[in-house]
Amino acid sequence: MKKTSLLKKLFFLAIVFASTLTINAQHTFSIVAVDPVTGEIGSAGATCLGFEDGAQAISDIVLGVGAIHTQSYWHPTNQANARVRMEAGDSPQEIMDWLIANDVQGDATARQYTAVDLNAGNPRSAAFTGANCFAEFIHIAGPNYSIAGNILISEDVVNDMETAFLANTGTLADKLMAAMQGAKRPGADARCLDDGVSSLSAFIRVADPSDTDSSYGNLSLDLNVWVTSDVFEPIDALQELYDGTLSVDSNSFSEETLSMYPNPANESITIQSEKGLISQYEIYDVTGKLVTSRTTDSPITHALVNVSDLNTG
């Protein structure tokens, strides 16, 4: 009886400890940006936390308005408050000022924030870095972008993100992906230096004016990678996934690159990729209507899909 009681107490303590780790997670380098011409709103970042919401937890896109990142000692209530302020019409700088004055734990000196908005075609941006963030730390606020990082191997991580973002002449998504590549180096997040990678999780998200759901996985571009066991470079994996989204024509995939079998199928099908990673897939019926869209737990080379619950055709 005593043993059972002790186990319950230990289990409770483990839950509390895990919850504390999540709330106080240290997030690293990221960028928010908008394109005033297309109305797109973007968010990208990475951190040395190897789980699904490791990096993307900081990303909050308010459709049609702008984006906010709350990082360093991340707290979900501060992030929720930032969103409320943006939805209420506050400018990025007003959001910074409000968050500093109303920190959920009464101390904003270990927080780092970035925000940007469309502002009817006249973008605004702002950033804040508390003096007690882990060094190296830096932020840069440009005309339509805001970049920040902390616990960096050097300030060059963020400086190089800005250089790459500005040098790229492509879409907003292209520019965000370029910024992530600009950050990539062993130890970009200093905690990952011993692993020889920049980070353990990375994401890129872009909302266009037609999007109606800004929750994770539901934007026009919504990619997320994280390390689970074998260490790999998340930014390169993110690049590979991003490159895979650039073609919308299924005929561009050769049989040697992407295969699906059996077809037709009653119970399950296997989707196999020879030259890329699968993070999301969509199934259409014979009329071209979308039947289902699903995401994988992590980027994989083949997916076993249960289709027994789908209608024939």
Task: Provide DSSP, 265-299.
Answer: -SSEEEEEESSS-EEEEEEE-TTS-EEEEEEEEEE
Residue 263 has pLDDT above 80, yes or no: no
Lookup result for tokens 């037609």: 210
Residue 25 φ then ψ, to 5°? -55, 140
Q: 3-state class of 203 per DSSP? A: strand
Residue 255 φ then ψ, to 5°? -60, -30
Q: Which amino acid is at 225?
A: V
- Give the helix/strand (H/E) hosting 245: helix 234-245
Residue 117 has pLDDT above 80, yes or no: yes
Residue 255 has pLDDT above 70, yes or no: no
Q: Considering only residues 292 and 161, tell me which one the structure prediction assigns the higher pLDDT.
A: 161
pLDDT of residue 47: 96
Region of poorest pLDDT, from 21-30, 84-93, 172-181: 21-30
Average pLDDT rounded to a whole number, residues 259-281: 69
> Measured between alpha carbons, how far apart are the two ends of the chain, in Å?
58
Q: Are 73 and 110 in contact (CB under 8 A)?
A: yes
Distance from C-alpha of 279 to C-alpha of 223, rounded to nearest angstrom: 8
Residue 276 has pLDDT above 90, yes or no: no
Residue 251 has pLDDT above 50, yes or no: no
Span 214-238, pLDDT tens digits:
999 999 999 999 998 889 999 999 9
pLDDT of residue 272: 72
Q: Identify the CATH number of the domain defined by range 25-244.
A: 3.60.20.10
Q: Where are the beta strands (DSSP E) in 39-175?
A: 40-47, 59-62, 66-73, 111-117, 124-129, 138-141, 145-149
Per-residue pLDDT band for 290 (boundaries 50, 70, 90) equals: low
pTM of the model: 0.74
Average pLDDT rounded to a whole number, residues 119-124: 98
Residues of the chain with CATH 3.60.20.10: 25-244
Distance from C-alpha of 194 to C-alpha of 157, rounded to nearest angstrom: 17
Instruction: Please provide the average confidence, as pLDDT, over all residues in the chain.
Output: 84
- Give the helix/strand (H/E) hosting 304: strand 302-306
Average pLDDT rounded to a whole number, residues 288-306: 68
Span 44-100, pLDDT tens digits:
999 999 988 889 999 999 999 999 999 999 899 999 999 999 999 999 999 999 999
- What is the CA 285 to chain-centroid distance, rounded? 30
Residue 289 has pLDDT above 60, yes or no: no
Residue 36 has pLDDT above 70, yes or no: yes
Per-residue pLDDT band for 278 (boundaries 50, 70, 90) equals: confident
Kindly list the distances between the CA atom of residue 1 and the CA atoms of 4, 14, 199, in Å, as whole numbers in the listed order. Answer: 5, 20, 45
Average pLDDT rounded to a whole number, residues 168-184: 98
Among the listed residues 180, 202, 190, the one whose alpha carbon sits nearest the alpha carbon of residue 55: 202
Kindly list the distances between the CA atom of residue 186 and the CA atoms of 31, 135, 146, 177, 211, in Å, as whole numbers in the listed order. Answer: 19, 16, 23, 18, 35
